[in-house]
Amino acid sequence: MSFYKKRFTLLIYVFFIFLFLIGCKPENVIIEKKSPMSECVIEKFTITQVKDGKLKTIIEADSVTIDENGGIAHLKLPVVKFYDNGIYVSTLISESADIDLETCDVKGIGKCVIDTANNEHLQTTDLMYNVKKNLIYSDNNIKIKKHGQMICGTGFDADTKLETVAIKNQRMVLD
């Protein structure tokens, strides 16, 4: 190969390398700033509520995920024990539940069962417990076994002892 051909080939290589380097501009990498995770997971969770020095509720769960931004605690397999002036009155068990961290209201999600100290049994889905009013309620189907009778309906309001129960659209089942 002649000297001029080598120079010409070298010049073409340099030209393509120069074009390549001009075409490769440095990219501005943008990194999004995200707030750190606002969730906390706790295993074997227990919380006790006391009013005027007397036990009001004990809430236990297999695990809880606390969403601080949303102000909600998500519980798996919760058991809520209700007390009246420190005396046990009933237990609520549900598939899962949400607790409003500001008001402490509980929303039972899925199948919910309440058993009282007087052997009364209530079964429904997706119920609410309002702490201030000490009221349990739902708009879903309900079965309540009380004093040997089975009462069914759609929707109810009750206190935690199930002493005062208002059932909407009720029907009675006789054995």
Structure tokens at 107: 């929303």
Domain-located, residue 152: yes
| pLDDT at site 148 | 82
Residue 75 domain flag: yes
pTM over 0.75: no
34, part of any domain: no
pLDDT in tens, 50-103: 888 899 999 999 989 888 777 888 999 999 999 998 999 999 999 999 999 888
Instruction: Characterize the bridge pairing of strands 54-67 and 39-51.
Output: antiparallel
3-13, pLDDT tens digit by residue? Answer: 666 666 766 76
What residues make up the domain containing 66? 39-173
Which of 24-33, 69-78, 80-89, 141-150 is least confident? 24-33
Is 144 inside any structural domain? yes
Give the residues across from 59 on adjacent strands. 47, 80
30 within domain boundaries: no
Mean pLDDT for all residues in the chain = 83
Kindly state whether residue 114 falls inside one of the protein's structural domains: yes
Number of domains in the chain: 1
Backbone angles phi, psi at 14, to 5 degrees: -65, -40
Q: What CATH number is attached to the domain comprising 113?
A: 2.60.450.10
